[in-house]
Structure 1
Amino acid sequence: MSDLLSIGASGARTYQTALGVASENIANAATPGYSRRSALIREVGRTNSIAIGQTVKLSGSGSHVTGVTRASDSFKSAEVRSSGADLARTEAGVVWIDRIEGALVGNQLSDRLSQFFASAKNLAADPAATAPRTVLLEDARSLAAGFASTAIALDSAAAELDAQGKDAATELGDLAQSLVRINRGLTRASANSAPQAQLLDERDRLLDAMTGITNINVAFDDYGRAIVRAGGATGPVIADLENAALISFASSPTGAVAISASHADTTSMIEPSGGMLAGLIDGAGRIAAARESLNVLAKDFTDQTTALQANGRTLDNTPGVALFEITGTDATTMLVNPLIDARGIAAAAVGEGARGNGNMTALANLRIAADWEGTFDDVVTENAALLATRRNVAEAQGSIHSAAVAARDGAVGVDLDEEAVNLIRFQQAYQASSRVIQVARDILQTIIDIR
């Protein structure tokens, strides 16, 4: 009877634990990063001696839970990280290409160029009149402000990108430090235990978060500890079993970006091909290219209109002074020469007299030859086309990533229908084990009563 009691008791303990595991799965069905747990149930073996020094293993001693396993699929998890890095890069790039579009279009520089030349045409129709000269001067100030505000908006975008890059680098370093702590915990955790499963869940959450910042290469050891390289298999180690790297981000006005990982006295460069950092690198290059195009356009426009003014004659029949100036090194400092007034606009050509319009006609011809408006519109159009393409790519990559996540969750996530069946099955087994105990007690009591 003692064997029957112990078998029933072991079964009750076993299925009580199994019910707890199933309940934990159900409770965490919606917990991000949670992987399904399963109780490892084994038969309790019993050995009997059949001769001196000889034993035989017999069954019939009940069951016990030897541990709790965690569902995992390394290939599907790697696919989630890879597709997530691709998506994060494209989405980050889209943000900054969109910012460029806002800077180029939001300050209406193209419209201000067109309005300036329209006012110049009106002045050519009546070069001696004061009103069209005043209007042209005001439109010139508006145009200069348009150049400057567009350049300032691009500079602001570059500064914000640099700040976001620094924040992302700091976050990546913090994630690496957290992963090192998880690695240390896994060293101490017992195999097939609930604490180990919890640590492994947190490990995978950290790896997914890292992937959103940069593409990573991960190697696992027998304890489940992760060694992470940033930027791919040849990139620097940013988290190992004991140490995490210090991550830094720096960008220059030329669009160059440097991302480094430092360990003690060693510093290595990270060259991401995925994740937010790769998108920031793309964005920095695009912003720098847009600024350079704008600066070249502003300088060419200023230089050529200055030369045109010098070759013309004002209402006072004197050579014209520069209408536009760039007082610094780029278009952010573009303005209308504060020394010029409406009479100082050189509308006449040399030899025409103060009331001629030859220089305004030359400006109209220069407008066609230099095609400043077309050059700027090309920059805007190219950026808009790239933005539309990247958005389409992001949509496709989003679908790929969602499919990868669904495939992984299907392999390691909680199926509520399956867990409901497990609850019923384990409950019935628990009740049956309890019934075995009751039967054993009844038999024992019957024997006692007979005696």
Structure 2
Amino acid sequence: MSDMLSIGASGVRAYQTALTTTSENIANAGTAGYAKRVATTREVAVATSGMTTAANGMGVTVSGIARSGDAMRSADVRAAGADLARSEAGAVWLDRIEGALTGNKLDERLTAFFNAATTLSADPSASAPRATMLQAAASVANSFAATGAALDGAIADLDASADAGTGQLNTLSASLAKVNAGLGRVAAGTSGQAALLDERDRLLEAMSALTDVAVQFDSFGRVSVKGGAGGPLLVQGDRPAIATYARGSDGAVSFAVYGIDGSHILTPSGGALAGMAEGAARLADARRELDTIAAAFVEGVNAVQAGGADLDGNAGTDMFEGDSAASMKLVLSDPRGIAAAAAGAGPRDNGNLTALAALRKDGAFESDVTTLTTGNASALAGRRAIAEVQTTIRAHAIAARDTVSGVNIDEEAVDLIRFQQAYQASSRVIQVARETLDTLFNIR
């Protein structure tokens, strides 16, 4: 009878643990990063006196809490997430460039300026077309300046985002180091270990969204993380590294890591930091090209002005100043100062406006702005198309991982009923054993 009682008690304890584990799975079915647990049971074996073998039939015990997981599929999710994060981050800054180039209608303002000069050539001494041309010149200057300022603002925002990204990476690295320390202390096959392993994988996935990572596990489940294959250590044991971001005087950006094995350059090939590095390069190129167009436009228009005569017969003076888009401004305030006539010709002459028309053709300012804008738009469309494909790839990777580690509510419901019945049956075994003992004790 005592064996029957102990067997029943072992069943109650084991299936209570199984019920608790199943309930935990159901409760966390929607929790991101949660891997389902399974209470593994085994038969209790007790060594018999004088024998080296064990006698079975002494009940059941929970040998541990097994966590469902697949390291390869988790690695696929991290890789797919890093690729997608890079594309999405890169698209953000391409979109900012597009907004800067199109939002201020620079191409339209340039066309309006040169068209106003063409209109003025029909009647060079008239006041109204001179005022219209000067107003168009002001619009061009303002559009160049606003476009340059928008690109400068985007660069400043990118710097802030990159600083925040490295700060987030440092926070994740520090948290992962603490998880490593916890895994070194926790007992294997426990709910505590399973929870730490969930947090480890969640942190690794979050890190891979910032930079591609190379991961190596030890027998305790602790992880060493490098910033990409062959890159610097980000986490080793309970030691995290520190990542930094910097922009050089030439506009080039860089990431570095220090704190574990010295200082090293971090060159992300995936994750949001890689997308930011790519965006920084494109922003710098766009600003450099825009500044080149602006400087050539200012120099060319001022040279045309200097080669002609204004309405009063005086040599033309500068219409614009500035050596970059952001610094451009209109300095000619009087429409009479537009040098429409060739030097020495009368006020009704339009010879110098012919030189401005030639500058329009040779300088190709409008087409250069259009090329810059369409080139960026094409890159943005390509990046978005790639991101769509990568979104699908990542979704499939997550689905493949979740077939192993995800919680299936239907399966858990079946297990819940099965373990409940086993628990009730074990309780019934205890009850029958007690009733039998009571009957025996009452025999006189």
Shift of the alpha carbon at 1:56?
2.8
Encode CA deviations 1:385-435: one digit per residue, 9 max, x unaligned: 111111111111001101111111111011111111111111111111112
After superposing the two structures, state which structure 1 stretch, 316-325 or 139-148, moved more: 316-325
Q: Which residue does 1:16 correspond to in 2?
A: 16
- Alignment of 1:332 with 2:329, yes or no, is no
Aligned with residue 165 of structure 2, among 152, 165, 168: 168
**Distance in 2 of aligned mates of 1:176 and 1:17:** 34
- What SS class does the counterpart of residue 127 from structure 1 fall into? coil
**Distance in 2 of aligned mates of 1:129 and 1:435:** 110
Q: Which residue does 2:213 correspond to in 1?
A: 216
Q: Which residue does 1:66 correspond to in 2?
A: 63
Aligned with residue 270 of structure 1, among 257, 266, 270: 266
Instruction: Report the residue type matching 1:294 in the other structure.
Output: L
Matches within 5 A, 1:307-318: 307-318=303-314
Aligned with residue 134 of structure 2, among 123, 128, 137: 137
Encode CA deviations 1:311-361: one digit per residue, 9 max, x unaligned: 1111122221111111xx5221101125x5211111011242232001112
**Distance in 2 of aligned mates of 1:153 and 1:21:** 55
Question: Is the CA contact 2:90–2:278 (under 8 Å) kept in the aligned structure 1?
Answer: yes
**Distance in 1 of aligned mates of 2:271 and 2:109:** 39
**Distance in 1 of aligned mates of 2:75 and 2:260:** 30
Shift of the alpha carbon at 1:36?
0.3
Question: Is the CA contact 2:239–2:260 (under 8 Å) kept in the aligned structure 1?
Answer: no
Shift of the alpha carbon at 1:110?
0.6
For normalisation by structure 2, the TM-score amounts to: 0.98
After superposing the two structures, state which structure 1 stretch, 105-114 or 313-322, moved more: 313-322
After superposing the two structures, state which structure 1 stretch, 83-92 or 197-206, moved more: 197-206
Q: Which residue does 1:440 correspond to in 2?
A: 433
**Distance in 2 of aligned mates of 1:112 and 1:16:** 77
Instruction: Report the residue type matching 1:207 in the other structure.
Output: L
Question: Is the CA contact 1:254–1:288 (under 8 Å) kept in the aligned structure 2?
Answer: no
Q: Which residue does 2:385 correspond to in 1?
A: 392
- Alignment of 1:426 with 2:423, yes or no, is no
**Distance in 1 of aligned mates of 2:307 and 2:433:** 117
**Distance in 2 of aligned mates of 1:343 and 1:437:** 110
Q: Which residue does 1:31 correspond to in 2?
A: 31
Q: Which residue does 1:94 correspond to in 2?
A: 91
**Distance in 2 of aligned mates of 1:165 and 1:56:** 65
Question: Is the CA contact 1:255–1:287 (under 8 Å) kept in the aligned structure 2?
Answer: no
Q: Structure 1 segments of 4 or more deviating over 3 A? A: 252-255
**Distance in 1 of aligned mates of 2:425 and 2:343:** 112
After superposing the two structures, state which structure 1 stretch, 290-299 or 340-349, moved more: 340-349
Instruction: Report the residue type matching 2:190 in the other structure.
Output: S
Q: Which residue does 1:198 correspond to in 2?
A: 195
Instruction: Report the residue type matching 2:177 in the other structure.
Output: V
- What SS class does the counterpart of residue 260 from structure 1 fall into? strand
Which segments of 5 or more consecutive residues in structure 1 lack a partner in the other structure?
Answer: none
**Distance in 2 of aligned mates of 1:228 and 1:423:** 38
Encode CA deviations 1:170-198: one digit per residue, 9 max, x unaligned: 01001100001111111110000111111
Aligned with residue 372 of structure 1, among 352, 362, 365: 365
- What SS class does the counterpart of residue 268 from structure 2 fall into? coil
Quick one: structure 1 residues 269 and 345, their matched pair in 2 at CA, closer, same or farther if it must change by over 3 Å? Answer: same
- Alignment of 1:124 with 2:121, yes or no, is yes
**Distance in 1 of aligned mates of 2:188 and 2:229:** 28
- Alignment of 1:238 with 2:239, yes or no, is no
**Distance in 1 of aligned mates of 2:331 and 2:409:** 74
Instruction: Report the residue type matching 2:360 in the other structure.
Output: R
Instruction: Report the residue type matching 2:401 in the other structure.
Output: R
Encode CA deviations 1:199-256: one digit per residue, 9 max, x unaligned: 11111111111011111111111110111111x1211111111211111111246441
**Distance in 2 of aligned mates of 1:281 and 1:406:** 30
Q: Which residue does 1:152 correspond to in 2?
A: 149
- Alignment of 1:261 with 2:257, yes or no, is yes
**Distance in 2 of aligned mates of 1:265 and 1:430:** 54
CA RMSD between the two structures = 1.3
Shift of the alpha carbon at 1:446?
2.6
- What SS class does the counterpart of residue 213 from structure 1 fall into? coil
Aligned with residue 292 of structure 2, among 296, 303, 317: 296
After superposing the two structures, state which structure 1 stretch, 73-82 or 385-394, moved more: 385-394
Instruction: Report the residue type matching 2:441 in the other structure.
Output: I
Question: Is the CA contact 1:253–1:288 (under 8 Å) kept in the aligned structure 2?
Answer: no
After superposing the two structures, state which structure 1 stretch, 30-39 or 240-249, moved more: 240-249
